[in-house]
Amino acid sequence: MTSFAFHLDAVDPLTAGRAGRLQTPHGTLETPAFMPVGTLGTVKGLLPAQLRDAGAQMVLANTYHLALRPGEKIVAEHGGLHRFMDWDGPILTDSGGFQVFSLADLRKLDDDRIVFRSHIDGNLLELTPERAVQIQEDLGADCIMCLDECPPSGETPEKVRKAVDRTTRWAERCRAAQTRTDQALFGIVQGGVHPDLRRRSAEGLLAIGFPGYAVGGLSVGEPPDVMYSTLDCTVPILPAEKPRYLMGVGRPEDILEAVCRGIDMFDCVMPTRNGRNAMAFTSSGPVRMRNAVHQRDLSSLDPECPCIACTRYTRSYLRHLFVAKEMLGPILLSLHNITYYQTLVRQIRRAVIEGRLAEFRVNQLARWAGAP
């Protein structure tokens, strides 16, 4: 674990916002950081050099998907994900748990294991804490995640408590199953929207001790203010000197609000998924590229954005690509949205370093709200 270190460059005076650097065997991640999602070992439609140009420093890949296709052993034969997908920067893999709960057909869940049917071919498979670690060791990411139980949104406190305790026991087994010393294993705090259960979960994980902590089970359908207040009573329990990762979040405003509450790392499919569906994030709010209003619009999608879509093309051309169902539409808008997210976290980081995150937040929320 000597290759890992987390250093805090600055803490904002008026919010809980932090600017840091996470050192990994594949380079350093400046935080706050947004990780584009490369589910199957590719961020959909983009080459690694384009991600790099967009400002991305770290990407996420999904253990569940890669274990099904092509199988982690084939990735291992390549020397791991970095070489498989030609991304030489830091990579994080999730545990597969969230996808098993959300995508697969769950057949059995007890303390020992999760039995499920693959969403691809219906094969009966199982996931255990040990297997989640083994797959992630084969994939070879820099940061890996403990297997956690993700109860659905709106579950009873009693069931959430049971999931928390199981998640803690599984975290212990994941820790024990680790054989590689060059991967940072993160614990995942669960507990739904219940402050006492969040505390219970965090304390259980802290007793084991991890090089990083994730907050899971949010952005699963609860209103934004519930997510924010859950962060308010979860993040302060986590040690200041470790990186904090809010899983699967989210919209630009969610990222800004979560940084203000002390979160360092994010991932979300939104920039790429929305980009493929013709929705662009811009400095003045979201733009739907298929809208007829863009038909003859020769202006830039976002004059403040340095990406190819914004500097080389018109809104009219981008709309044409989507209307004509051309691949370049999803490509350019994915590239733009990733660039937008990376620009946002870079601006947030600068605001933290300069001690003006509170002011940045007010101004930025007003700009988004004032969008047409």
Phi then psi for residue 302, to 5 deg, are -145, 105
Q: 175 near 201, Cβ under 8 Å?
A: no
**DSSP helix/strand/coil, 64:** helix
**DSSP helix/strand/coil, 72:** helix
Binding pattern for the stretch 86-125 against a second copy, x by CB under 8 A and - elsewhere: x---------------------------------------
* Contact partners, residue 139, CB within 8 Å, separation at least 6: 61, 63, 66, 72, 75, 76, 80, 81, 93
Query: Which range in 142-150, 153-161, 313-321, 343-351 contacts a second copy by CB under 8 A?
Result: 313-321
Task: For strands 212-215 and 244-246, give the pairing.
Answer: parallel
Report the residue from 9, 312, 362, 363 that binds a second copy according to the rule CB under 8 A.
Answer: 312
Q: In the 8-state DSSP scheme, what is residue 220?
A: S
* Contact partners, residue 77, CB within 8 Å, separation at least 6: none
Report the residue from 47, 109, 233, 353 that binds a second copy according to the rule CB under 8 A.
Answer: 47
Cβ proximity to a second copy: between 284 and 295 the closer is: 295
Cβ proximity to a second copy: between 29 and 81 the closer is: 81
Q: 22 near 243, Cβ under 8 Å?
A: yes
Cβ proximity to a second copy: between 135 and 246 the closer is: 135
* Contact partners, residue 251, CB within 8 Å, separation at least 6: 270
Decide: is 277 part of the binding site for a second copy (CB under 8 A): no
Decide: is 36 part of the binding site for a second copy (CB under 8 A): no
Query: Which range in 17-25, 157-165, 306-314, 342-350 contacts a second copy by CB under 8 A?
Result: 306-314
Q: Minimum CB separation from a second copy for residue 86, in Å?
A: 5
Report the residue from 7, 9, 13, 69 that binds a second copy according to the rule CB under 8 A.
Answer: 69
The size of the interface with a second copy (CB under 8 A), counted in residues, is 36
Report the residue from 85, 91, 268, 348 that binds a second copy according to the rule CB under 8 A.
Answer: 85
Catalytic-labelled residue, pool 142, 148, 254, 267: 267
**DSSP helix/strand/coil, 21:** strand
**Residue 70 to residues 75, 77, 351, Cα–Cα distance (Å):** 7, 11, 42
Q: In the 8-state DSSP scheme, what is residue 317?
A: H
Decide: is 290 part of the binding site for a second copy (CB under 8 A): no
Decide: is 129 part of the binding site for a second copy (CB under 8 A): no
Report the residue from 8, 10, 23, 70 that binds a second copy according to the rule CB under 8 A.
Answer: 70
Binding pattern for the stretch 316-335 against a second copy, x by CB under 8 A and - elsewhere: xx-xxx-xx-xxx-xx----
Catalytic-labelled residue, pool 94, 148, 264, 302: 94
Question: Residue 120: which of 36, 221, 220, 40 has the closest Cα?
Answer: 40
- Per-residue b or e along 257-282, where b marks 16 or more CB atoms closer than 10 Å to that residue's CB: bbbbbbbbbbbbbbbbebbbebbbbb
Q: Minimum CB separation from a second copy for residue 39, in Å?
A: 9
Q: Report the distance separating Cα 321 and Cα 332, nearest Å.
A: 10
**DSSP helix/strand/coil, 23:** strand
Report the residue from 42, 118, 153, 277 that binds a second copy according to the rule CB under 8 A.
Answer: 42
**Is residue 88 among the annotated active site residues?**
no
**Is residue 94 among the annotated active site residues?**
yes
Interface contacts to a second copy, rule CB under 8 A: 40-42, 44-48, 65, 69-70, 74, 77-78, 84-86, 295-296, 298, 308, 312-314, 316-317, 319-321, 323-324, 326-328, 330-331
Active-site residues: which are they?
A: 94, 267
